[in-house]
Amino acid sequence: MVRARTTTEKLFDVAVTVKGVDGAVQVVGALVLAVIPPSAITGLANAVITRDLLGDHEGTLARHLSKAAHDFADGSTRTFAIIYLLLHGLIKIALVIALLRRLMPAYPVAAVVLAGFVVYELYRAARTGSLALPIFAAIDVVIIVLVLREYRQLRRERNG
């Protein structure tokens, strides 16, 4: 007899699939950032700010965008962004494939790896003032909770 999938299991599949798509987008983003010159990024940011797309030129959004673009032009920040996106994306894709195949050893590994990303994202956010990294960390925490719930459920089914 096949049991009906719970809402949590369906949510797990959706969240993990979204994480896989996110990983693929990160890999593509890393490759794009590797080939686009930093001057193009700062030029785009300046164009957005000067065309009033963010409101006041001296406003909070304009300042954050300008700072982010200039920080990105710095070689170490650009290198970090490319390596971070590439590794984070590839690891996510590999874990997503393992989780969707219900490979039991992948669950604890996924939780530990994502927890490591959360710690690093928060550390990096504290050092750089990034607004995006804490959001990514919060999403990763939700995924960790779903991974651990699914792992416990699968263990009960396989041991039961």
Q: What is the pLDDT of residue 138?
A: 93
At 111-126, the pLDDT tens digits run: 999 999 899 989 989 9
Tell me the pLDDT band of 52, cut-offs 50, 70 and 90. Answer: low
| Local confidence band at 152 (pLDDT 50, 70, 90 cut-offs) | very high
Please write the tens of the pLDDT for every residue from 5-20: 788 788 888 888 988 9
Task: Report residue 25's pLDDT band, with 50, 70 and 90 as the boundaries.
Answer: very high
Q: How far apart are CA 27 and CA 16, in angstroms?
A: 16
Of 86, 83, 84, 93, nearest in space to 137 by CA? 84
Which pTM value belongs to this model? Answer: 0.68
Contact 146, 13 (CB under 8 A): no
Q: Where are the domains of the chain?
A: 25-86, 102-154
**Interior angle at CA 116, CA 125 and CA 17, nearest 5:** 95
Total residues found in the chain within this entry: 160
Angle of helix 38-50 relative to helix 60-73, nearest 10 degrees? 170
Task: Tell me the C-alpha distance between 30 and 22, whole Å.
Answer: 12
Measure Cα distances from 122 to 19, 135, 137 in Å.
19, 9, 7
d(CA 50, CA 42): 12
User: What pLDDT sits at residue 28?
Assistant: 95
